[in-house]
Chain A
Amino acid sequence: MDKNRCLIKVKELKKHFTVSHNLFKQSSKKSNVLKAVDGISFEIAHGNSLGLAGESGCGKTTTGKMLLKLYEPTGGKYFFNDIDTSNIYKKEDIKNFRKKAQLMFQNPFEAINPRFTVRRALMEPLIIHHNGSNKEKEDLVAYILNKVKLQPVKNFLEKYPHQLSGGQLQRIVLARALITNPIFLVADEPVSMLDVSIRAGVLNLMRKIAHEMKLTTVYISHDLSLIRYMCHEIVIMYLGKIVEMGLTDEVIENPHHPYTQALIAAVPVTDPEIKNEEIKIKNYVPSPIDLPPGCIFQNRCPIATEICFRIEPKISKINEKHQVACHHIN
């Protein structure tokens, strides 16, 4: 693949945390390393959207934070626009990076300083990066509020977060992320705390703006339907590893990994004539601290065989984009 076409390139990325004491298991192995992310690799082309999907504890949020340099990886490589991000460590360089890579938060009620007005909150990135004169800053603030459809702008400038609804706040969080004209946006469960009838508005707005600004985006969510709506490609994570990835439509229509299959079958269908089946996966979720060798899904997999307990499956390619980590694909 042409190197220049990928904004994000991640190779065997790892994030391990040392845990001081372990409440969950009295095991004889004194391992105290939490492998939140344990060797993941993927690429995102400029302007594409990637969904990081998986249940809680799979490492998707940690990955998102590494993509934004909020966490430093403990292993592997992360290339941003062909630059090795381990070379970005000086204050100025990090600040420049932050102009280009932004984050949308899950909880809109907490994401804005409660003592700031909307105007002040939106000015903050501009002040940090010294963007132009005061007048230019004010103009940018008005421009961005218009872009996220909070109109008339003057009604919102002097409001405090507690005076606004969840949907409005989330648009302000989006506005703040966009005001420095970034090229990369990570959205961590951007609508999970909003009322259902409001979500569509925010999602549609994000789609439209990402398209207009040619943003490369990563959506982190446990909601597969949301990822299908928003993302071109999808990565399914489980306990720090990627089990399946590829074009969203394809992975969802034609899942190969038993975990993906279970996830998709578990999503409740809004049609009362079609009843979901019970997912017969064993309940045992291993502690991420004491992982056995072999495939990480071994304890719960309905088709696990002897090899699965010994050897970690290599990535197999179903087609150019679609990859699965399983011993048993036919």
Chain B
Amino acid sequence: MKTKNNLLFSIKHGVISVINFFKRDKFAMVGAFIYLFFILVAIFGPLFAPYSPFVMIKENGKLMFNQDPSIKYLLGTTNMGRDIFSQLIYGSRPALIVGFTAAFFVMVIGTLVGLIAGYYRGKIGNILMRLTDVAFGIPFIPFVIVLVAFLGPSIWNIVLSMALLLWRDTARVIRSQVLTVRERSFIEAARVSGASDLRIMLVHITPNILPLSFLYGTLAIGWAILTEAAVSFLGFGDPRAISWGYMLHDAYVSQALSRGSFGWFVPPGICIMLMVMAGFYIGRGSEEILYPRLRKMD
């Protein structure tokens, strides 16, 4: 019970240092705003979308396919008469759902594995690290494809496949950080005070690595979105969720490039790009967190 309180305490600390960090780095702040923007779009966008993304629009009985961008159809329509702009708005949902859920699992699993492997070293550490190596060895997209082939092309299966593999980077990085932290005097102090291994990991080490976990979490959002887009583009995505990647697939399959329907494939590409870039900027500014500003300030 007490340990749970202490875990929440560590998490609160991690969040505070993250917020402070955003205030300092302009690029990271831009990245944060981009994320915020798309989150708002994902939540409220569909209320303002002019059409449903699935409906095949007919005007006067005629199917409005391949329309050029106009006031009625801001980005034009697909070859099946669907409004691209509405699709773009709705597309933010699967992107963010996949992005955040996968990132959450990546962060949690990666941190746990890294923490335990880094703290226990020895046999347990070795087993976990070999597991990580196995995860590294498996090529990601083919794995997703195989999993989707067996379990069906649903958004959640894509999230599952990411959760199964993408924690590997985080684990490695967290482990090396834990290896450093565990050698510091205050950890020995905790041991001398009588703290159990579990307590040392959760109460003493975790607050010092949580910023790094959060960081890799935000990077993972970008990876996840990119992966979902890639998987959908290859045609293995969830057809019930019109994601940006799916839009690209659709555009490609219907030869939008040769028709010059830039309004169809450029916007989703830009959206994907922005989300990944935002993740990168946040990551790039992370050097401040990674380097000890804990040194005594004179």
Contacts and interface: CB of A to CB of B under 8 A. Distances in A.
B62 interface: no
Nearest to B184: A110
A214 interface: no
A124 interface: yes
B290 to A, nearest CB: 14
B295 interface: yes
Contacts of B295: 162
A124 B6 CA distance: 11
A124 B192 contact: no
Interface string A129-171: 1000000000000000000000000000000011000000000
Interface of A: 68, 70, 91, 94-95, 98-99, 102-103, 105-107, 109-115, 124-125, 127-129, 161-162, 173, 176, 180
9 contacts: A68-B192, A70-B191, A98-B193, A105-B189, A110-B185, A115-B10, A115-B13, A115-B207, A180-B193
B297 A128 contact: no
A125 B203 CA distance: 12
B190 A124 contact: yes
Interface string B174-191: 000000000011101111
Given A113-B204, A115-B208, A102 B185 contact: no
Interface in B156-199: 184-186, 188-196, 199
B296 A129 contact: no
Contacts of A129: 194
A128 B199 contact: yes
Contacts of B195: 124, 128
A95 B186 contact: no
Interface of B: 2, 10, 13, 184-186, 188-196, 199, 203-204, 207-208, 294-297
Contacts of A112: 186, 189
Nearest to B189: A111
Given A114-B294, A162-B294, A95 B189 contact: no
Given A109-B296, A111-B186, A114-B208, 20 more contacts: A70-B188, A98-B193, A102-B192, A102-B193, A103-B188, A105-B185, A105-B188, A106-B185, A110-B186, A111-B185, A111-B189, A112-B186, A113-B204, A115-B10, A115-B13, A125-B193, A128-B195, A129-B194, A173-B189, A176-B189
Nearest to B183: A110
Contacts of B13: 115
A102 B188 CA distance: 11
A162 B296 contact: yes
A162 B297 contact: yes
A91 B203 CA distance: 19
Contacts of B189: 103, 105, 111-113, 173, 176
A311 B208 CA distance: 52
B114 to A, nearest CB: 18
A70 B191 CA distance: 8
Nearest to B13: A115
A180 B189 CA distance: 13
Contacts of A102: 192-193
Contact of A98 (B2, B192, B294): B192
A133 to B, nearest CB: 13
A111 B184 CA distance: 8
Nearest to B206: A115
Nearest to B205: A113
Looking at B10, B186, B204, the one whose CB has the most chain A CB atoms below 10 A away is B186
Contacts of A91: 196
A99 B204 contact: no
Nearest to B207: A115
Looking at A99, A110, A115, A176, the one whose CB has the most chain B CB atoms below 10 A away is A115
Nearest to A164: B296
A124 B193 CA distance: 8
Nearest to B192: A103
Looking at A91, A125, A176, the one whose CB has the most chain B CB atoms below 10 A away is A125
Contacts of B294: 114, 162
Contacts of B192: 68, 70, 98, 102-103
Nearest to B295: A162
Contacts of A110: 184-186
Contacts of A103: 188-189, 192
Contacts of B185: 105-107, 110-111
Contacts of B2: 127
Nearest to B14: A115
B293 to A, nearest CB: 9
B166 to A, nearest CB: 28
A99 B194 CA distance: 7
- Nearest first, the 6 closest Cβ-Cβ pairs linking A and B are A98-B194, A110-B185, A114-B294, A125-B193, A115-B207, A113-B186
Nearest to B193: A125
A176 to B, nearest CB: 7
A127 B295 CA distance: 27
Nearest to B187: A113
Contacts of A180: 193-194
Contacts of B190: 113, 124
Given A110-B185, A111-B185, A162-B294, A128 B208 contact: no
A110 B294 CA distance: 10
B194 A95 contact: yes
A64 to B, nearest CB: 11
A94 B195 CA distance: 10
A180 B195 CA distance: 13
